[in-house]
Structure 1
Amino acid sequence: MVGRRRLIRSYAAAFAGAIVFFTLAYDVGMSFFEERPRTLLHSFEVVMQTFTTTGYGQDAGWGPEMTVLVVGMQFTSLVLIFAAFPIVIVPLVEDALATSPPTALEGAEGHVIVCRHSPRTETLRDELDARDVPAVLVEPDRETATDLFERDRRGGAGVEDALAVVADDDDEVDLSIAMSAGEAAPDVPVYSIVDDPAFETYHRHAGVEEAFSPRTLLGRGLANKITTAVSTELEGSVEVGRDFSIGELPLQPGSALCGQTFAESGLEDRTGARVIGAWSTGEFRTPPFPGLVLDEHTVLLVVGSERDLDRLRELTRSTVRRHRRGEVIIAGYGVVGSTVGNALAEAGVPRTVLDVEERSTVDIVGDATDPDVLREAGVEDGGTVVLALDDDTTTLLATFVIRDLNPHAEVIARADEPESVRKLYRAGADYVLSLSSVTGRLLASRIVGEDVVSFGQGIKVVSVPPPESTTLGDLEIQRRTGCTVVAVERRDGRVDTDLAEWTEVGEHDTLVLAGTDDDVARYDEVFRG
């Protein structure tokens, strides 16, 4: 938009300059070469007749010098006329026909205001759409706003009736957004996304309900994949009822379950817990098929009482697993990498830090895509490599190099863009978290009050009323949607987890479902659409 205005101004200046130049030249030429003096106004009239192609002729019969001047004037007028089409006329027609995004919103309520477009807020808006919560984008760049509005037809703001406000601009600008939103609607919660964790405190002082640091969240998520293996607690669990939880549980290398199929393991009979899904080779399978081979890269999604989960945890743990010095290698030691390193230190897990910049906290200085540097870091002997690099292309290359050096290493990777996740899995990564997905899903879960077991992979736990009073077998929820019914909350507060096809559900009961983003959306389409 700014470039177009500058071009139009330049064109107008060139047009006016040409008029003035040829008016003066014609006036001087008629007096000096033709000895037929004309008034300046008459010379201006001749030039305008030429430029507008309306014709002239009263001064015809010039000598060679004036003929050259008149031909030059005619040529210049043609150039300016044709240049007017792409510079002035076409843009004006496009603006007249184009759809303009609104600058205000009337009559809306229950929406979420998202300040500034980014990959993180794009994921947030998709998550809110899946929950039927309207999101309104406030974008200062008009061309970006127009493109987004034409794509999905979302309107302007309306903070007084909003469900929440999300600020994702510069950290300093977010402070102003929070203050302005607080003045306009003190009861509407404001959430902010900070690039520098140091700003979290300032944002809370400005009235922000909760400030999210995406890189810190991502670092914790990557660290959880490692520390869960040596922790006595089940990470990422969601409590549904008294003494009943849902959570993810990774298998440790050396576990007695490794190498067995899901059917051979007999996990449910041995522990009383239910395995409702499993992550394996980057894909979520619900329920796990009997022939699924369990290994150290498998993550189980389980439900049950604390006692049941404790029994299952014991089976997944390894009695021989010991973290050797340098067994966990962290490549990249910015905010994400240092968060991983701090979490490993708290869990007592030794690590080797690799980064391109020399610092006191870095053990080896070098490029994570250089095989010699990776060998020096101990990749060929290491059990786990955390790729906390800030460039997805570099992360992809590093994954290939690590797989070539050590096919058995566990590769845990950070991805900035959601579309890079599948590429990294195909390259050989065992566990990938996307920066924008983690932030967007966590924000959406906070705003709508929904539990999400895995922010990186989008495993949701939702409570919904049954479509009708019948049995679970008649509803066929698993077959029709992919969601798994993990519990039924009864009207009197009891939680029924011992479910079968003949289990009856009534209109006053609540179904607790677990499934991926697509599964939950499919349930809405089949039973609530």
Structure 2
Amino acid sequence: MSLDRWPTEIVRRITKLSIGQRVALYVVIVAGIVSVYTGIYWYGMATYEDRSLSLAGALQTVVQSLTTTGYGQDAPWETTVMNLFTILMQFTGILLLFLLLPLFVVPWFRQFIKRRRIDTVEPLEDHVVISGHTPLVHTFIIEIESHGHQHPYVIIEADRDRAAELRDIGHTVLHGDPEAESDLRKASIEEAQAAVVAGDDQLTLNAALAVRDVAPTVPITATLEDATFREYLHSAGVEYVLQPRHVIGQALASRYAMRTGTPSDRIVILGHGTVGSTVRSALETWGATPSVVDIEAGEHVDIVGDATEKKTLQDAEIEKADAVIISLPEDRQAVLSTLLARDSHSTTNIFVRVTESEAVERVKRAGADYVLELPDIAGRLLAAAVLDEPISATEDDILITRMTDPTGELSAIENDRVVGVTRNNELHLAPEPDFELQQDDLLIYVRE
């Protein structure tokens, strides 16, 4: 390492240390400098100034010099050596205070203050209390802010570092447990307009019960993955139970139907989880006979194999497929399967579900024709449940709205394909033409 780069390299290495490691290193450096300078000063005074000092007296003078508080009874010095050494101690003190202190101690104090700031929030009214920050919650917050609403909100986040990061970028955050009644009270849950619970089903259920215990009248909106939990959430007092995975499955099937116009027996579904099984059921209802590929054997699974391997896709005769619908557990698997499918069939329609927004463009570059993002749909479902106005996608192809005037709004969507309706904690996918919309229904539909 060249001499002109070593200061930068030292700073870079120090900044990689944790706050505790920095403070410990700072203490070691100061203790080492004080010890060495005390020994040198004690020896120099005896050798060059012909004055005998105790080690305690030498230590006192060194500390006074490094902290720029004075030199006590030892000044002035007669010899050049001791005067130069005293100047060295002065510059060392400046270095410790004005260079090393910001690198070591100040970050610790900043973190300490930051942590105190996220343990409490100012009292709020008519706000939304959100249990945890997830990608779908991120979309929900964007929606309520982008529609001109000034709804105050507070996020109860269990991870302290994550809570601090969210506070730094402008969110109102409380570090705490979404299932703890004491933390819910800190978030002024009794005065809230609504509570949003989004996480795994067990967390959702427990957080909803905690909210209902503290605030019996506050409306609760929750997301759900396993449909068998729906009745439990209903018993816990949740007003709106949203099932984004089922909605995405139906939306993918609807988009395929709108693009092709006729049922087909040459559709391949890769992945038979909640989304994949919903797609299969919707297509079968429409009259199509899809072929299902999954890593595990099960009912309705036609081919057992890894959808990211070319042989599995060959077994599924993907080169003959009119459409490929991909819903795999991980986005990297979806990207690879999309590449393989596009390589096998250059003109087939490929529809993909992803779980992170960062994967959307990658999947499109891999060859997907249509991509739905789980957090985006889930976040907009949450926003539609909390807000009384339509919520549309960026590309304006999926719209979610709460019914305030069912008769009037039906005429506006007669040319659209209804994905589903959420009513009284139940999701009605692809309702029949005679299905009557009611007040406060959540309507999800795909537009041409």
> What TM bracket, shorter-length normalisation?
0.5 to 0.7
Q: Aligned partners of 2:37 and 2:227: how far apart in 1?
A: 65
CA-to-partner distance for each residue in 1:142-196, whole Å, 9 max, x for gaps? 6655655565565874322322111234555444432332232111122233566
Q: State the match for 2:101 in structure 1.
A: 84
Report how far residue 415 of structure 1 moved.
2.3
Q: Does the C-alpha gap of structure 1 residues 108 and 166 become closer, same or farther in structure 2, counting only changes over 3 Å?
A: same
Identity among equivalent positions (%) equals 26
**2:208 pairs with 1:178:** yes
Q: TM-score, normalised by structure 2?
A: 0.63
Specify whether residues 442 and 153 from structure 1 end up closer, same or farther in structure 2 by C-alpha distance, changes over 3 A only: closer
Deviation (angstroms), 1:136: 0.7
Partner of residue 442, structure 1 = 381
Q: Distance in 1 between matches of 2:132 and 2:223?
A: 11
Q: How does 1:490-509 map to 2 (within 5 A)?
A: none
* In the alignment, structure 1 residue 44 sits paired with structure 2 residue 59: yes
Task: Answer yes or no: is the 8 Å Cα contact 1:15–1:80 preserved in 2.
Answer: no
Alignment of 1:399-478 (within 5 A): 399-418=338-357, 420-421=359-360, 424=363, 428-448=367-387, 457-459=397-399
Amino acid at match of 1:6: G
CA contact (8 A) 1:27 1:39 kept: no
Alignment equivalent of 1:9, drawn from 23, 32, 35: 23
Secondary structure of the corresponding residue to residue 47 of structure 1: helix
**What amino acid is aligned across from residue 403 of structure 1 in structure 2?**
R
Aligned match for 1:122, one of 130, 134, 138: 138
- Greater CA deviation, 204-213 or 32-41? 32-41
- Describe how 1:138-217 pairs up with structure 2 within 5 A: 138-140=155-157, 141=159, 144-145=162-163, 148=166, 157-169=187-199, 171-194=201-224, 203-217=233-247
The offset of 1:390, in angstroms, is: 3.8
Aligned CA distance change for structure 1 residues 19 and 403 (closer, same or farther; 3 Å): closer
Partner of 1:18: 32
Distance 1:41 1:112 in 2: 62
Judged with a 3 Å threshold, the aligned counterparts in structure 2 of structure 1 residues 341 and 37 are, in CA distance, closer, same or farther, namely farther
Distance 1:137 1:217, change over 3 A: farther
2:19/2:107 contact within 8 Å kept: no
Cα RMSD (Å): 5.0
Equivalences for residues 39-118 of structure 1 within 5 A: 39-54=54-69, 56=71, 58=75, 80-81=96-97, 82-89=99-106, 103-106=120-123, 108-109=125-126, 111-118=127-134
Change (3 A) 1:53 1:447: closer
Please give the secondary structure, in 1, of the residue aligned with 2:319: coil
Aligned to 2:434: none
Q: Aligned partner of 1:161: which letter?
A: E
Provide the residue aligned with 1:365 in structure 2: 305
- Mapped contact 1:387–1:411 kept (Cα < 8 A): yes
The answer as to whether partners of 2:245 and 2:275 remain within 8 angstroms in 1 is yes
Q: CA 1:20/1:365 → structure 2, altered by over 3 Å: closer, same or farther?
A: same
Matches of 1:180 and 1:112, distance apart in 2: 15
Distance, in Å, in 2 between the alignment partners of 1:201 and 1:33 is 88
Q: TM-score, normalising length from structure 1?
A: 0.55
Give, in whole Å, the separation in 1 of the partners of 2:235 and 2:35.
62
Match of 1:136 in 2: 153
Distance 2:317 2:353 in 1: 20
Q: 2-side partners of 1:47 and 1:453: how far apart? A: 70
How far residue 380 of structure 1 moved from its aligned partner, in angstroms, is 0.8
Q: Matches of 1:126 and 1:516 in 2, distance apart?
A: 21
1:330 Cα deviation from its structure 2 partner? 2.0
2:235 matched to 1:219? no
Contact 1:433–1:457 at 8 Å: present in 2 too? Answer: no
- Following the alignment from structure 2 to structure 1, what is the Cα–Cα distance between the partners of residues 46 and 291? 88
Q: Is the 8 A contact 2:223 2:241 kept in 1?
A: yes
TM-superposed CA distance for 1:396, in Å, is: 4.1
Q: How much does 1:39 deviate?
A: 3.4
Query: 1:125, 1:135 within 8 Å by CA — same for their partners in 2?
Result: no
Q: Are the equivalent residues in 1 in contact too, given 2:335–2:362 (CA < 8 A)?
A: yes
Distance across 2 between alignment mates of 1:93 and 1:104: 18
2: CA distance, partners of 1:161 / 1:208: 17
Structure 1 unaligned blocks of 5 or more: 230-249, 252-295, 297-315, 466-482, 488-513, 518-529
Report if the CA contact (8 A) 1:389-1:395 is conserved: yes
Partner of 2:14: none
Quick check: 374-383 or 128-137, which moved more?
Answer: 128-137
Alpha-carbon deviation of 1:379?
Answer: 1.0
Q: Describe the SS at the equivalent of 2:318.
A: coil
Aligned-partner Cα distance in 2 for 1:19–1:338: 69
Residue pair 2:121, 2:172 contacting (<8 A) in 1 also: no
Query: Gaps (5+ residues) in structure 2?
Result: 1-16, 175-186, 414-442
Q: Distance in 2 between matches of 1:485 and 1:347?
A: 23
**Residue pair 1:123, 1:441 contacting (<8 A) in 2 also:** yes
What is the deviation of 1:364?
4.0
Cα offset, 1:22, TM superposition? 4.2
Deviations 1:311-337 (A, max 9, x none): xxxxx5x4xx552xxx22222344433
The SS at the match of 1:10 is helix
TM superposition shift of 1:451 = 6.4
- Helix, strand or coil for the counterpart of 2:53? coil
Conserved? CA contact 2:381–2:400, under 8 Å: no
* 1:367-399, Cα deviation, whole Å (9 max, x unpaired): 53x545423321111122111134445534543
Q: Check conservation: 1:200, 1:212, Cα contact below 8 A.
A: no
Q: Does 1:486 align with 2:421?
A: no
